[in-house]
Structure 1
Amino acid sequence: MSTTPTTTPTTTPTAAPDVAPGADAAPITLVTGASSGIGQSAALEVARGGSGVVLTYRGNPDGAGRTVRQIEEIGGTAVALPLDTARTGTFPAFAEQVARTLQDTWHSAHLTGLVNNAGSSRPAAFADTSEDALDELGDVLFKGPFFLTQALLPLLADGASIVNVSSSSTRPFGMTPGFSAYAAFKGAVVVWSRYLAKELGTRGIRVNTVAPGPTRTRLGGDAFARHPELIAPLAENTALGRIGEGADVGRVIAFLLSEQAGWITGQDIDVSGGYDL
C-alpha cells in the first residue's frame, strides 16, 4: 500500500495514541529528502532490512514516487509525504499526518527510526554570503531537523534510532572555499546530535550522524551532472579512487538504524571512501 499526498494538512495536531513500548509489530522509519540521492538510498536500504518507510520530498514528487515503487518492487511498504523542512510552522500538522499514516498503513503508533537527511547547498565565499542566504541554509540544515525531531519525538518508540546527515566538510581537512556557512551548520548538527544522544539515552534512543564525503546527489542544483569535470579531481583525492554514491551512505545509515548497531550512539561516522587522507 502506498500513497503520495500533494498537500500538507492544516488540522490541529494531536498526541500519539497511548501504546505500550514494544506493542508495535514492525519497524517503521521516516526518511526526509528521500526522492533522490542519499535519502532515496537510505529508504531503499532500510526497506530491504524489513522496515516500513515514510519518506518525504519537497520539489521532486516524481522522484518520491520512484522511491515508493522501488520499495514496493522489493516487497516493502512506503508512503511519500510532502514536507518543506525550512517551514517549521508546518511540523505539528505534519506530525499528525505521520501519526495517521502509521495507523492507516501499518496499524502502528510509533516510528522506530528517523533519518534527517533533507538538505540544501549554495556555495558562496564568506565575503559574499548574505544574511538571507545564511538564514536559508540554517533553516534547512539545522533549525529544520532540530524542530522536526522535536515534533516527532512523541511518535518515536523507546529504543528507536535517529541518524542525522552531517558532512565531511566539518572535518579539519579537505576544506573547500565557499562552504563555510554550510559546514558551520553541519557542524552544529554533529554537536546537537551528541547532546541528543545524551538526553534521549534514558529512553534507549540512539542518535548518530554520518558524514559523507563528495557524493553524487542532486544538491547544488545537481552539480555533478552539470559539471562532470569536478568528479575526477575529487576521485583522485579519495583513497578508494572514486566519489561516493547514495547507496554507499545509505547502507551505513541502515546499519546505524539496525539492532546490529545497538551499542553505538553519539558518534559521527565518516563515510567518504577516505576522502583527503
Structure 2
Amino acid sequence: MSVKAICTHLGVTRSTYYCWKQASTDAGSCHVIERRIGELCREHKFRYGYRKITALLHQEIRVNHKVVQRIMQKYGWQCRVKVKKRKQTGQPYHIADNILNRSFEATAPLQRLVTDITYLPFGQKQLYLSSIQDLYNGEIIAYSIGDCQDTDFVFNTLSQLDTLPEGFTLHSDQGSVYTSYRYQQAVKGKGIIMSMSRKGTPADNAPIESFHSALKSETFYLDNLRSTTTAIVEQTVKDYITYYNYIRIQAKLNNQSPVQYRQLVG
C-alpha cells in the first residue's frame, strides 16, 4: 500500500505520518548513541570526561559534545578520577639563591644536606615521603611519612636534626612548604644556610631525586607492590632506608654503605 492509502485508511494526514517517522528515527539514533557512550565510559573505567568521549565517538559518528555531556550527566557517567586541587598559598615568603649550584660533594658530615618530597601512591591512600640526605656519604639522616604535604610535614623532618654544626647548607626546591614563613623561621633558628634549586630544574637536586627513585625501583616496582595497604607502604619505606644506610654499598663510597663509610673515614 502507498503512504497516501495508509494515511487515508488510518485517518491521518501525510505530514503527521512523516513527523512520526522522523521522531521514531531520532529516538532510535539517540538510543544507539547513549548505548555507545555507556560502552566507552565503562571501557575506559570512567577515566574520561565528555570531551575525550566525544573525540572517541567522532571516530565512528558525528555528535555534538553538548549532547555527550548531557547524556553522561543523565546516567552519572562523568569522569570519576579525582582532580587534585592545589591550595593557594600566595606569594612565597622567601626564595633562596642556588648556593649549592650542583656541587654535590662535602668534605665532612652535616656540611651539605639536601631535602625533597616524593609521592608514595602504592597504598590505600596517597602518602608522601620527606627526606633529608647528607651529601658527605649519601646517608638519609631524617625522614617523615605522611598523608598531607604541608608545612608541618616538612617541619617534622627538619626537627629531627638535633646537634648541628654552625652554618651548614640545606638545599631544596622552591616548593611552597620550603619557602613558607614558618619553615624559613625554623631554618634561621637552627643557623642553617638555605639553598634552593632553580624553578623547574630537578637536576639541581639530583642526589635526593636519585635516592627516591632507587627506593621505588628497588622495592615497590621490583616486588610489584602497586596496590597494597598503608601499613605495608610505611614499613617498606622504613626497612629500605635502614637497608640503604647500613647495608647497601655504593661504588663512590669505596663499596661501603653510607654508615660504614662515615664510621671508617670519620
State TM-score, norm by structure 1.
0.29
User: Between Structure 1 and Structure 2, whose CA radius of gyration is higher?
Assistant: 2
Structure with more contact order per residue of length (Cα contacts < 8 Å, sep ≥ 6):
1
State TM-score, norm by structure 2.
0.30
